[in-house]
Amino acid sequence: MPIIVGPEIETYLYQILPSRDPVLSHMEDQARKRGIPIVGPTVGRFLHFLALLHKPKKIYEMGSAIGYSTIWWAKAAGPDGEVHYTDGNPDNEKEAKQYFKQAGVEKIVKTHVGNALQIIDELPGEFDLIFCDIDKNGYPEAFHKAYPRLKKGGLLVADNVLWSGTVALPSKAPVDTHGGRKWVEAVKEFNRLIYETPGLFTTIIPLRDGVSVSLKLK
């Protein structure tokens, strides 16, 4: 699997990270033991940092698993924030709710079980920030759902936009990541959309598996 950031740099970044609160640390342990996909502490801190800078009050999260990234967003949004958790697995939601209560953010997190690409159609109004972390084959559709629902000045943030470096491989090169070539092409299409859509200003940060940040200018 291609390396995005050299292993020595990856190790260094994790070594210098401040300790997380007990809830997040426990979730990280559970993710390691059970193979649960979470953004991890380096990306989690970056998401939290973005929210502290941007000050979003209404956040929609596409794909939340056990709610690890949700807590990073919620703590930055503050007591008057509104963070929408989505996941297709009711067991994940049940577990996430326990973590939200332990983290003290249960009052501002609204949970939804089902397809994040459909749930967004059921919610009213615009969002200050939308975070995409669903199955990668859904990324292009996620863009088309998210873009019109963002406020002017809102942020579209996505994880895994470098997809283990596979986006840089030749188009016919074999791919051994989950989802295969179809998922790689979907991520590449998402990246094309966020860079080429008028009215968006985008940058990709090669942190962990790649995080994109797009600002809606108009």
Instruction: List the CATH number of the domain containing 183.
Output: 3.40.50.150
Does the model's pTM come out above 0.85?
yes
pLDDT digits (tens, 9 = 90+) for 81-112: 999 999 999 999 999 999 999 999 999 999 99
Q: Which of 20, 59, 29 minimizes the C-alpha distance to 156? A: 59
Could you tell me if residue 109 is inside a domain? yes
On whether residue 83 sits in a domain, the answer given is: yes
- The pLDDT score that the predictor gives to residue 2 is 55
- State percent of the chain over pLDDT 90: 89
Return the pLDDT at 155: 98
Task: Provide the pLDDT confidence category of residue 1 given band limits of 50, 70 and 90.
Answer: very low
pLDDT score of 3: 66
In a domain, 132, yes or no: yes
Within a domain: 32: yes
In a domain, 1, yes or no: no
pLDDT of residue 5: 83
199 in a structural domain: yes
Whether 61 maps to a domain, the answer reads yes
pLDDT for 172 equals 75
**Structural domain harbouring 28:** 7-216
Q: Is residue 86 part of a domain?
A: yes
Say how many domains are in the chain.
Answer: 1
